[in-house]
Structure 1
Amino acid sequence: MKTTSISHAFGHLSDPRVNRTQRHSLIDILTISICAIICGYENFNDIEEYGKTKEDWFRQFLALPNGIPSHDTFNDVLNRLNPHEFSHAFTAWVKSLANLSEEIIAVDGKRCEARWIKPGVSRLSIW
């Protein structure tokens, strides 16, 4: 199975924002959010802090023309996403990462019930 990038997996999602109010791309917001959540950050303030801490790294593959979005932007955008579209894209992306061969892998699972991830998404940590 071929691994899919975040921008490819989530590029088709409907952007709930009005065009004239978009200072940050949806892919930038989703990429920072997903990375932060995988690293254990749990709220919008934490996601913003994570983004600012890792900004130099994110700039290697994200445009970030207006810097890291604020916690209010993360809150607004993530709460307005279509939960079914997001869940479907997230599940497909995670499945694309599971390219298993003859290796032993440790798996730890968590259920993420954040208000903006309705009806909830399972998070897997794989080593």
Structure 2
Amino acid sequence: DNTKPEEIASAIRQHWSIENNLHWQLDVTFREDYSKKVKNAARNFSVATKMALTILKKDKTTKGSMNLKRLKAGWDEKYLSQLLQNNNF
């Protein structure tokens, strides 16, 4: 393989940039760093928050931050229903 070390380093940095962005978004939107859940509850909550974040990111009907969309989904049953229907839930 003729892959240069610079290309490998760039690929690694890109991977961790994506990972760090995901964790930052989960922490900002769902305050994941402050979660006190343990074991299976922590894993289950992590899956649920990643699903919710994906649904909120796909929504183009509401302008604003992910946190604003999350709050709106909690306050507005019609909006929540729309999000779930648009994502086949």
Asked if Structure 1 and Structure 2 have the same fold, meaning a TM-score greater than 0.5 normalized by the shorter chain, the answer is no
- Flag the structure with higher strand content: 1
Please tell me whether Structure 1 or Structure 2 has the larger radius of gyration of its CA atoms: 2
Query: If the length of structure 2 is used for normalisation, what is the TM-score?
Result: 0.33
- Flag the structure with higher helix content: 2
Query: If the length of structure 1 is used for normalisation, what is the TM-score?
Result: 0.26
Query: Larger relative CO (CA 8 A, sep 6+): 1 or 2?
Result: 1
